[in-house]
C-alpha cells in the first residue's frame, strides 16, 4: 500500500485538518515535475539518463571525489532553516531556499513555505493536545489519591496517615504527573506533604472530596432536582468503593486511548515529513531531506516524550490498581483487539438474502393462486393478517437503511462508532447489520408463508385457531433473541439498543446523549410499526383470533391507545429537548422541542380523521399536517443537515462537504421535501384505484423509513464535521470524585471532562 493511502487511513477523523497536508505538498511536487518536463522535452535516451541520474543522486553515488564530507554538505546545502519564538513559547520555523534565483526555483521555494506552514501547524496542535493531557494527568493523580485513601478507609476504618504513607510509598511508581517526583525520594503526592514538613494526615483528602453524581439515572436525576446538588457525601461503604473503581477504570481506559491516538498522530506526521522530503530529493536531485529532518526531529513534535512516558505510567497504574497486577488482563482492557471481518458473515448474508427472495416469490404465488385479492373474504383476511407481519417488514427495511448508512459512513470516513459511543471493537459493520436484517426477513417471511399455507389449505382448516399462534411465536422468538443474556448474537449491540430504548421511554429522567435522541427520531418514522404492535396486543389479548375478524376498533380502549401510540415517539423527543434545554441552556433545544408540539397535534388530528371521518376533521388534519411538514422540513435541511447557508463557499450548502458531488446534497434536499409530502396521502386519501388502502398505507410508511435513512446519513455527517471543527475525538467520561478544597478547586474540571 502506498504511503499516501496508509496515511489517510491512519488519520483520526476528527483531527484531519491538524495533520500535515501530504497531498497538497505532493501537488506542488507534481508542479515541479511538469515544469521540468515542459522545459526539457524528453527523448527515450534522455529519459533513461535522467532517471539514472536521479537514482544516483538519491543513493549518494554522484558526490564528487576529493571533497571532505563537511565541505560536501556546505556545497550541497540548498536550504537554511531559521527558528524564532512564537506565541506561547512555541518555536516557529521558516526556510530560506538558497537557489530561488535559478529557473524553477519559485516552485521549490513555495514547496518549502508550505512545508514550514505544515510543520508549524502540526507542532502547535500537538503541543496544545499534550498540555491538555498533562493537565488531565495531574487531575487523575488527585483522583487516584482519593481512591487510594477511600480503599484504605473502607478496608480499615481505623486507618491513620501512616497506613496511607506506607501504601503510597509502595505504589509511588504509579503516579502519572512527571512533576510528582521532583523531591527525588520516589514519594507520591500524599507522601510529599510529610516530606516537605507538612504533618497533615494523608487521609485528610477524604474530607475535601465528594462523589460526583452526573445525573445518569432516574433516581440520581430526581435527587439532583430535589436536593439542588449533584454531589453526595462519602459513606465509606464497599458498594460505593466498587462504583467509584468502575467509573475511574473507564476514565483511565479513555485517557489511555487519547494518549495512543496522540502518539499515532506524532508518528504518522513524522513519517509524512520524511516521505515527502524523499520525494522532493528524488524529483529535484537536491539534498535537503537530512538538514530539514534534523529540524523536524528537534521540534516539539519529534523531541517531546511526554506522551510515551504517560503511556507507560498509565499502564503501570491501571495494571496495579484495576487489574490485580495482572498485566495481560490489564492490557486487554487498555488495548482491545480490533474486530476482524469474517467470511461466514458474508456467506450467511448471501444465503439469507437468497432465502428471503425465494420466500417473497412463494408468498406472492400463494396469494395469486388462491386469488385472495379478488374475493371479499380473502381481502378481509389479508387486512387482518398483513398488519401483523408488516411490523417486521418495517423493522427490516429500517435495518437495511442502517446497513447502507454504515457502508457510506465508512466510505466517507465518518467516525460513527465514536459519535454513537460504541465500545471499541463492538460496533457492527454493514455486513453484520445486513446479516441480522436478512435473518429476520427469513423468520418473518417463513412464518407468513406457514400462516398462509395453514389458513388456506383445505386439509388444515381444522387448525385455524392454532395457526393464529404462529405470529405470536415469531414475536416471542425475536424478543427472546433481543433480551438473551448470553454473549451470543452481538450481545454488546443488543444491550446497547435496549439501553437506548429504555432511556427514550424514561425521558427526561436520563441524561440525553446522541444515541438516545437519534433513536427517538427514528421511532418517529415507525409510527405505523407501533400501531401494528398495538394490534398484536389487541389481536391476542382480546381473543379476536377465534372470530377470524379484526374488530379491535370497536373497543374504546384500543382507540384511546391508538391515539397515544401515534404520538409517543414525538412526545419522547419533546421531553428530551426539555432535558437538554435545562442542562445545556441552549435555546436551540427549546426551539427543537417546540417543533414537536405541532407535529403531535398533527398526528392526533390525523388519527381522529382516520377514525371519525368527516370534512371538518379532514380540513383540520390538512392544515395541521401542512404546518408540521413545513417546520420539520426546514429543521431537517437547515439545522440537522447544516445546509442552505447563504454565505457558504459552496452555493447554498455548507463550507465543508464530505461528498465531492454537490448535486447529491441538492437531490437529497428535494427528495426530503417530496417524501415529507408523501405522508399527506394518509390525510387526503387520494383515490388510487389500482392500489388497496392497506397497500397505500404500507408504501407511504416505507417511504418515510427511506426518508429517515437519507436523513440519518447527512445528520451524522453534520455531527462529524462539528466534531472535526472542534477537534472532539474523545467521549466525555465523568470522574467519580469532585474536589472542593480551598485554594485549588478543580471540581469543575472534573465535572466537565
pLDDT of residue 163: 52
pLDDT reported for residue 563 = 85
The owner of cell 437547515 is 638
Confidence of residue 79 (pLDDT cuts 50, 70, 90): confident
Task: Classify residue 324 as left (phi > 0), alpha (psi -120 to 50) or beta.
Answer: left
* Sign of the CA dihedral with 36 first, then 40, 41, and 43 last: negative
Task: Tell me the C-alpha distance between 226 and 219, whole Å.
Answer: 11
Whether residue 227 has pLDDT greater than 50: yes
The average pLDDT across 181-191 equals 38
pLDDT at 126: 94
214: pLDDT strictly greater than 90:
no
Q: Regarding predicted confidence, which is higher, 27 or 547?
A: 27
Whether 625 and 683 have beta carbons less than 8 Å apart is answered as: yes
Average of per-residue pLDDT across 446-473: 76
In the prediction, which pLDDT does 746 show? 44
pTM summary value:
0.83
Q: Of 137, 129, 126, which Cα lies nearest the Cα of 314?
A: 137
Q: Please give the biggest Cα pair distance in the chain.
A: 108
In this prediction, residues 10-36 reach a mean pLDDT of: 90
Residue 187's pLDDT is what?
A: 38
**Is the per-residue pLDDT at 158 higher than 50?**
yes
Measure the CA–CA gap between 656 and 718, rounded to whole angstroms. Answer: 9
180 pLDDT more than 70: no
Q: How far apart are CA 201 and CA 434, in angstroms?
A: 60
Distance in angstroms (rounded) separating the CA atoms of residues 313 and 179: 13
Query: Of the candidates 289, 331, 293, 388, which has an alpha carbon nearest to the alpha carbon of residue 29?
Result: 289
Percent pLDDT > 70 in the chain is 79
Given a cut of 50, is residue 178 above it in pLDDT?
yes
pLDDT in tens, 492-535: 999 999 999 999 999 888 889 999 999 999 999 999 888 888 88
- C-alpha distances out from residue 216 to 213, 502, 750, Å: 8, 13, 16
Q: 188 Cβ partners below 8 Å, 6+ apart?
A: 145, 168, 169, 171, 172, 174, 175, 180
Which letter does DSSP use for residue 67 in this model?
Answer: S
Q: Give the pLDDT score at 572.
A: 95
pLDDT at 200 over 80: no
Distance from C-alpha of 85 to C-alpha of 123, rounded to nearest angstrom: 13
315, 690, 657, 719: which is closest to 515 by C-alpha? 719
The pLDDT value recorded for residue 2 is 86
pLDDT at 596 over 50: yes
Quote the mean pLDDT of the chain. 81
Q: In the predicted model, is pLDDT for residue 643 greater than 80?
A: yes
Rounded distance, CA 529 to CA 535, Å? 10
Cell numbers at residue 514, please? 446522541
Contacts of residue 16, defined as CB under 8 A and 6 or more positions apart, other chains included, come to 724
d(CA 156, CA 138): 27
Give the pLDDT confidence score for residue 192 in this predicted structure.
40
Tell me which of 230 and 385 has the higher pLDDT.
Answer: 385
How high is the pLDDT of residue 52? 47
Predicted confidence band of residue 91 (pLDDT cuts 50, 70, 90): confident
Q: Is residue 59 pLDDT above 60, yes or no?
A: no
Closest CA to 572 of 620, 537, 535, 527: 527
pLDDT band at 181 (very low <50, low <70, confident <90, very high): very low
CA distance 519 to 419: 13
Of the chain, the percentage scoring pLDDT greater than 90 comes to 40
- DSSP letters of 489-527? SSHHHHHHHHHHHHHHHTTTSS---HHHHHHHHHHTT-H
- By CB atoms closer than 10 A (0-12, 13-18, 19+), residue 38 is exposed
Q: What is the pLDDT of residue 358?
A: 96
- The pLDDT value recorded for residue 387 is 82
Least confident of 231-235, 255-259, 664-668, 736-740: 231-235
Mean pLDDT of 683-706: 74
Q: What is the pLDDT of residue 223?
A: 63
Q: Which of 36-50, 123-137, 656-670 shows the lowest per-residue confidence on average (mean pLDDT)?
A: 36-50
Average pLDDT on 299-326 reads 92
- How does pLDDT run across 407-440, given as a tens digit for each residue? 999 999 999 999 998 887 788 999 999 999 999 9
Task: Check: CB of residue 474 under 8 Å from CB of residue 489.
Answer: no
d(CA 462, CA 552): 24
Q: What is the mean pLDDT of residues 355-363?
A: 94
**Rounded CA separation 753/751 (Å):** 6
725 or 224: whose pLDDT is higher?
A: 725
Residues 114-137 have a mean pLDDT of: 93
- Provide the edge-to-edge strand list for the sheet that holds 737-739: 231-232, 209-212, 737-739
Amino acid at each position: 500500500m502506498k504511503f499516501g493511502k496508509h496515511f489517510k487511513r491512519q488519520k483520526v477523523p476528527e483531527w484531519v485538518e491538524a495533520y500535515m497536508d501530504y497531498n497538497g505538498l505532493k501537488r506542488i511536487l507534481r508542479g515541479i515535475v511538469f515544469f521540468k518536463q515542459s522545459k526539457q522535452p524528453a527523448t527515450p535516451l534522455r529519459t533513461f539518463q535522467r532517471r539514472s541520474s536521479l537514482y544516483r543522486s538519491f543513493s549518494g553515488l554522484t558526490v564528487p571525489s576529493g571533497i571532505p564530507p563537511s565541505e560536501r554538505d556546505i556545497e550541497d546545502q540548498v536550504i537554511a532553516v531559521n527558528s524564532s519564538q512564537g506565541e506561547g513559547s512555541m518555536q516557529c520555523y521558516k526556510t530560506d531556499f538558497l537557489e530561488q534565483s535559478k529557473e524553477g526555483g519559485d516552485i521549490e521555494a513555495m514547496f518549502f513555505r508550505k512545508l514550514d506552514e505544515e510543520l508549524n501547524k502540526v507542532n502547535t496542535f500537538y503541543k496544545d493536545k499534550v498540555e491538555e493531557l498533562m493537565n488531565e494527568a495531574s487531575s487523575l493523580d488527585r483522583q487516584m489519591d482519593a481512591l487510594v485513601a477511600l480503599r484504605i478507609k473502607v478496608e480499615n476504618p481505623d486507618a491513620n496517615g501512616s497506613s496511607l504513607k506506607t501504601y503510597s510509598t509502595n505504589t509511588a511508581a504509579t503516579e502519572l504527573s512527571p512533576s510528582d517526583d521532583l523531591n527525588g525520594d520516589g514519594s507520591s503526592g500524599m507522601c510529599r506533604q510529610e516530606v516537605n514538613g507538612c504533618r497533615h494526615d494523608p487521609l485528610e483528602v477524604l474530607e475535601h472530596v465528594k462523589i460526583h453524581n452526573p445525573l445518569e439515572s432516574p433516581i440520581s436525576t430526581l435527587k439532583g432536582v430535589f436536593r439542588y446538588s449533584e454531589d453526595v457525601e462519602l459513606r465509606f461503604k464497599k458498594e460505593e468503593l466498587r462504583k467509584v473503581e468502575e467509573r475511574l477504570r473507564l476514565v483511565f481506559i479513555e485517557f489511555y486511548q487519547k494518549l495512543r491516538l496522540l502518539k499515532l498522530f506524532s508518528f504518522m506526521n513524522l513519517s509524512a515529513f520524511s516521505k515527502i522530503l524523499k520525494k522532493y530529493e528524488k524529483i529535484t536531485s537536491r539534498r535537503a531531506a537530512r538538514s530539514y529532518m534534523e529540524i523536524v526531529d528537534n521540534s516539539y513534535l519529534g523531541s517531546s516524550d511526554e506522551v510515551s512516558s504517560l503511556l507507560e505510567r498509565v499502564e503501570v497504574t491501571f495494571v496495579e490498581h484495576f487489574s490485580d497486577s495482572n498485566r495481560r488482563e490489564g492490557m486487554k482492557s487498555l488495548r482491545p483487539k480490533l474486530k476482524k471481518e469474517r467470511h461466514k458473515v458474508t456467506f450467511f448474508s448471501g444465503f439469507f438474502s437468497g432465502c428471503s427472495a425465494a420466500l417473497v416469490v412463494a408468498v406472492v404465488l400463494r396469494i395469486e393462486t388462491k386469488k385472495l385479492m379478488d374475493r371479499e373474504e380473502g381481502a378481509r383476511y389479508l387486512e387482518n393478517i398483513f398488519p401483523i407481519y408488516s411490523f417486521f417488514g418495517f423493522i427490516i427495511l429500517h435495518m437495511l437503511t442502517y446497513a447502507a448508512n454504515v457502508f457510506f459512513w465508512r466510505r466517507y470516513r465518518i467516525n460513527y462508532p465514536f459519535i454513537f459511543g460504541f465500545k471499541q471493537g463492538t460496533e457492527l459493520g454493514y455486513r453484520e447489520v445486513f446479516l441480522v436484517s436478512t435473518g429476520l426477513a427469513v423468520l418473518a417471511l417463513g412464518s407468513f408463508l406457514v400462516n398462509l399455507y395453514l389458513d388456506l389449505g383445505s386439509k388444515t382448516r381444522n387448525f385455524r385457531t392454532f395457526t393464529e399462534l404462529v405470529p405470536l411465536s415469531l414475536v416471542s422468538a425475536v424478543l427472546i433473541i433481543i433480551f438473551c443474556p448470553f454473549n451470543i448474537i452481538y450481545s454488546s449491540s443488543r444491550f446497547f439498543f435496549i439501553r437506548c430504548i429504555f432511556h427514550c421511554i424514561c425521558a427526561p429522567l436520563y441524561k440525553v446523549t446522541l444515541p438516545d435522541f437519534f433513536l427517538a427520531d427514528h421511532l418517529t418514522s415507525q409510527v405505523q410499526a407501533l400501531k401494528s404492535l398495538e394490534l398484536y396486543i389487541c389481536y391476542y389479548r382480546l381473543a379476536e383470533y377465534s372470530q377470524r375478524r379484526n374488530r379491535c376498533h370497536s373497543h374504546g380502549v384500543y382507540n384511546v391507545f391508538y391515539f397515544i401510540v401515534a404520538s409517543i415517539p414525538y412526545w419522547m423527543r419533546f421531553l428530551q429537548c426539555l432535558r437538554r434545554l435545562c442542562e445545556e441552556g441552549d435555546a436551540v433545544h427549546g426551539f427543537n422541542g417546540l417543533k414537536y408540539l405541532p407535529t403531535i397535534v398533527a398526528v392526533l388530528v390525523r388519527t381522529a380523521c382516520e377514525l371519525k371521518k368527516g370534512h371538518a376533521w379532514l380540513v383540520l388534519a390538512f392544515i395541521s399536517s401542512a404546518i408540521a411538514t413545513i417546520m420539520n422540513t426546514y429543521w431537517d435541511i437547515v439545522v440537522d443537515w447544516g445546509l442552505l447557508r447563504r454565505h457558504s463557499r459552496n452555493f447554498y450548502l455548507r463550507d465543508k462537504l464530505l461528498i465531492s458531488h454537490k448535486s447529491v446534497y441538492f437531490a437529497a434536499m428535494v427528495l426530503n421535501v417530496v417524501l415529507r409530502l408523501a405522508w399527506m396521502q394518509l390525510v387526503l386519501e387520494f383515490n388510487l384505484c389500482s392500489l388497496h388502502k392497506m397497500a397505500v398505507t404500507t408504501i407511504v410508511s416505507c417511504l418515510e423509513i427511506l426518508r429517515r435513512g437519507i436523513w440519518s446519513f447527512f445528520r451524522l455527517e453534520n455531527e462529524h464535521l462539528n466534531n472535526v471543527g472542534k477537534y472532539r475525538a474523545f467521549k466525555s467520561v465523568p470522574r467519580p470524585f469532585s474536589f472542593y478544597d480551598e485554594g485549588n478547586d478543580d471540581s469543575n474540571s472534573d465535572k466537565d471532562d
